[in-house]
Amino acid sequence: MRKLVSAAFMALLTLSSAVAAENYPSHPITIVVPFSAGGPSDAMTRILAERMKATLGEAILVENTTGAGGSIGVGRVVHSAPDGYTIGFGHLGTHVANGAIYKLGYDLVTDLEPVVLLPSNPMIIVSKNAVPAKSLNELLAWLKSRPEPATAGTAGAGSGSHIAGLAFEAASGVKLQYVPYRGTGPAMNDLVAGQIDLIVDQLSNSINQVRAGTIRGYAVTDAKRAEQASDIPTADEAGLPGFHMTLWSGLWVPKGTPKEIVTKLNAAAVDALNDPGVRRQLENLGLQMPPADRLTPEALGDWQKAEIAKWWPVIKAANVKVD
Ligand code: MLT
């Protein structure tokens, strides 16, 4: 009898999950951005959400849940219902580096389901305008001449801007004093105001300020110059050969989200990435679209695992302390 009841219960559960997936979405969806409004993660998410809601037919709310290098926001997604109504935005920092720095209380691979790889961009070394340097070599000389380390804004330990700062220190031999914010949106406000000296920032976050002349850009961490900022040399050209770093992003949902729902979300995100208006907005920020053959959920999952294998030994060797 007990087996009969259990089998009936499981059948009912399977049926209700299939019905839920069939009717999905039936109410607004939330995308959790683990950094402050006004930063690059927030900007990309809002551009995509605006187009995805048209495909999904429901409102998409963007919620900024910040702190601890983005790991608070990711935890919010991990512990939400696996029903497709809570999606997580993340990137190299939140879904790779944080696992090597924090005791997260969740597993970045087994507690999440990958949905889709999103655009990526190189980092750019930027400073406040008051820094007396007009080239990367002059910036390096200025940094090395200072009695105290220069201040570098980040989005917290383990964030993309923090990992990029560590990579910059390793490449240049310069020491930085990190100033953590809840995102590189507020960090940028302080850079423009001259409150901090520099950021090793996502190009998409700095490009408009560099164009406006409110901050100074020195080099991008890519093998070639960015089309949208072609006057900014690569680090190879400017005096830091081999300093390459690409910050990629993606969407994830909690483990156990029905596959049919992951498929619907993936399709809506791919539609948005293929929309000419969305591509124009993202490419104008210096973002590079993911290749068409890397847009499946499995491709993001494989990429995240490969990046963990690549970055964890480097980050652990840096012995990053989080307070
Ligand atoms: C980072 O530094 O990880 C991100 O650029 C932070 C953000 O998107 O605000």
Which ligand 1 atom minimizes the distance to the CA of 36? 9
85-99 tens-digit pLDDT: 999 999 999 999 999
Ligand 1 pocket mutation, candidates 32, 41, 47, 246, criterion most atoms within 8 A of CB: 41
- Residue at 9 is within a domain: no
Q: Are residues 163 and 224 in the same domain?
A: yes
- Residue at 110 is within a domain: yes
- Residue at 20 is within a domain: no
Return left, alpha or beta for 233; rule: phi > 0 is left, psi -120 to 50 is alpha, else beta.
beta
Q: Are residues 133 and 198 in the same domain?
A: yes
Q: Are residues 114 and 164 in the same domain?
A: no
- Residue at 13 is within a domain: no
Query: According to the model, what pLDDT value does residue 30 have?
Result: 98
Q: Are residues 226 and 299 in the same domain?
A: no
Which stretches in the chain have pLDDT values below 70? Answer: 13-14, 16, 323
Ligand 1 surroundings by CB, under 6 angstroms: 35-36, 39-41, 93, 155, 159-161, 183-185, 202, 205
Q: Are residues 114 and 129 in the same domain?
A: no
Q: Are residues 214 and 265 in the same domain?
A: no
Q: Are residues 164 and 223 in the same domain?
A: yes
Q: Are residues 32 and 81 in the same domain?
A: yes
Query: According to the model, what pLDDT value does residue 318 have?
Result: 84
Residue with CA nearest ligand 1 atom 9: 183
The CATH number given to whatever domain includes residue 162 is 3.40.190.10
- Number of domains, the chain: 2
- Kindly report the number of other CB atoms within 10 A of residue 8's CB atom: 10
Q: Are residues 185 and 234 in the same domain?
A: yes
The CATH number given to whatever domain includes residue 299 is 3.40.190.150
- Residue at 7 is within a domain: no
Whole-model pTM: value is 0.93
- Grouping H, G, I as helix, E, B as strand and the rest as coil, residue 214 is coil
264-292 tens-digit pLDDT: 999 999 999 999 999 999 999 999 999 99
CA-to-CA distance for 257 and 82, rounded, in angstroms?
4
Q: Are residues 282 and 226 in the same domain?
A: no
Residue at a domain's end among 187, 219, 238: 238
Q: How far is Cα of residue 14 from the mean position of the Cα atoms in its chain?
A: 34
Query: According to the model, what pLDDT value does residue 323 have?
Result: 59
Query: According to the model, what pLDDT value does residue 88 have?
Result: 98
Q: Are residues 267 and 294 in the same domain?
A: yes
Query: According to the model, what pLDDT value does residue 142 have?
Result: 97
C-alpha closest to that of 245 among 68, 70, 33, 92: 92
Range of the domain at 187: 121-238
